[in-house]
């Protein structure tokens, strides 16, 4: 597929042009190659999954995308521009939000405050005005609070608004973390194993939220997941990684029938 091309999903959504493109990414830690020469793209409005067995390099890939890691080789293109060396917080300002595999919330802060931090990239008043709680600072605080309340309604977590997140059960913490990322109104949302460690019911809830986010806000989503069943249900296109290499890329059906993918997941007999 080329840059401008669009495609239709089976459920009738139109997927637009490229939001992000990874070109020949190679990432090494000392002598260990975590990612070897991987290329793929993410398109406007789609749900793109990255799957693979443990240690395949999925999380490393996500860390490259949001700037925690800098690949030794290859290029990251975002909205048609090549990305130079940037700090993670600058990348967040460009509109890339993420969640973490092992929840990274601000555990001492309330649900509301946690989600408010997601708005930081949208708040501009200077520190002096804030310190004096001057007009613009107050107005800005109120406006952003409204967005946050919408996110809270959307995720159905009104009842825990004031609870310190450290006290919440795991499933809810995951939801708050999603809320913090959503509050940023990101152009690209990265989810690192959003359903890891959840029970069936929680997984269903989370799948529904991911689909709703994509549907209602048109947010482009890239997610890593272990659970094949879930991925095949919600993703539009899937990248499969194994030992740091890309072994498959395409629609869930294409990937499911790819012999390399089947071998990687089920093992292959050596005879």
Partner 1 sequence: MSAGFYYGTEVFLNGLMTGVLYSLVALGFVLIFKSSGIFNYAQGVMALFAALTLVGLQDGQVPFAHLINSIFGTQVHHFGWHLPALLAILLTAGVMVILAIVVERYILRHLVNQPDIILFMATIGLAYFMEGFGDLMWGSEIKKLDVGIPQGGNLWIEENTAFLGGDDFYGFYLDSLDIVAAVFAGLLVLSLVLFSQYTKTGRALRAVADDHQAALSVGISLRFIWVVVWSIAGFIALVAGIMWGSKSGVQFSLSLIALKALPVLMLGGFTSIPGAIVGGLIIGVGEKMFEFLIGAPFLGGATENWFAYMLALVFLVFRPQGLFGDKIIERV
Coil, helix or strand for 47?
Answer: strand
Q: Which of 98, 203, 237, 246 is in the footprint of partner 1 by CB under 8 A?
A: 98
According to CB under 8 A, which residues from 169 to 228 bind partner 1? 180, 184
What is the closest distance, in whole angstroms, from the C-beta atom of residue 98 to partner 1 in the complex? 5
109 forms part of the interface with partner 1 (CB under 8 A): yes
Q: Which is nearer to partner 1, 51 or 91 (CB)?
A: 91
Where would I find the H helices in the chain?
58-65, 88-93, 111-117, 127-131, 135-154, 170-183, 200-217, 228-234, 252-256, 259-266
Strand order across the beta sheet in which 73-78 lies: 32-43, 18-29, 73-78, 81-82
User: How many angstroms separate the CA atoms of 121 and 171, rounded?
Assistant: 26
CA atoms lying within 13 Å on the CB side of residue 221: 29
User: How many angstroms separate the CA atoms of 152 and 71, rounded?
Assistant: 36
What is the closest distance, in whole angstroms, from the C-beta atom of residue 1 to partner 1 in the complex? 29
- Binding segment toward partner 1, per CB under 8 A, in 25-33, 41-49, 70-78, 129-137: 129-137
Site string for partner 1, 76-95 (x = CB under 8 A): -----------xxxx-xx--
100 forms part of the interface with partner 1 (CB under 8 A): yes
- Binding segment toward partner 1, per CB under 8 A, in 72-80, 122-130, 212-220, 252-260: 122-130
CA atoms lying within 13 Å on the CB side of residue 172: 18
131 forms part of the interface with partner 1 (CB under 8 A): yes
Q: Which of 7, 77, 106, 217 is in the footprint of partner 1 by CB under 8 A?
A: 106
11 CB contacts (<8 Å, ≥6 apart)? Answer: none
Q: Which two tokens stand for residue 223?
A: 């997610």
Site string for partner 1, 50-69 (x = CB under 8 A): ----------------x-x-
Query: Which residues contact partner 1 by CB under 8 A?
Result: 66, 68, 87-90, 92-93, 97-98, 100, 104-109, 113, 116-121, 123, 125, 127, 130-131, 133, 137, 140-141, 180, 184
């Amino acid at each position: 597929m080329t840059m401008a091309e669009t495609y239709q999903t089976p459920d009738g959504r139109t997927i637009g042009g490229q939001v992000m493109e990874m070109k020949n990414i190679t990432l090494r830690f000392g002598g260990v190659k975590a990612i070897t020469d991987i290329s793929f793209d993410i398109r406007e409005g789609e749900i793109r999954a990255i799957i693979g067995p443990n240690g395949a390099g999925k999380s490393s890939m996500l860390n490259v995308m949001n700037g925690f890691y800098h690949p030794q080789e290859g290029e990251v293109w975002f909205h048609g521009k090549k990305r130079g060396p940037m700090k993670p917080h600058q990348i967040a300002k460009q509109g890339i939000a993420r969640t973490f595999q092992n929840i990274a919330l601000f555990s001492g802060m309330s649900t509301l405050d946690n989600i408010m931090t997601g708005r930081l990239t949208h708040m501009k008043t200077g520190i002096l005005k804030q310190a004096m709680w001057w007009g613009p600072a107050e107005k800005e605080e109120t406006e952003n609070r409204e967005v946050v309340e919408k996110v809270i309604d959307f995720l159905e977590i009104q009842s825990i608004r004031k609870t310190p997140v450290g006290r919440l059960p795991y499933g809810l913490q995951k939801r708050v973390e999603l809320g913090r990322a959503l509050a940023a109104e990101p152009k690209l949302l990265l989810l690192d194993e959003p359903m890891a460690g959840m029970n069936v019911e929680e997984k269903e809830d989370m799948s529904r939220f991911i689909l709703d986010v994509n549907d209602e806000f048109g947010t482009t989503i890239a997610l890593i997941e272990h659970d094949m069943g879930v991925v095949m249900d919600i993703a539009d296109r899937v990248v499969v990684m194994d030992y740091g290499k890309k072994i498959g890329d395409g629609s869930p059906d294409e990937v499911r029938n790819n012999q390399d993918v089947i071998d990687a997941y089920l093992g292959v007999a050596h005879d």
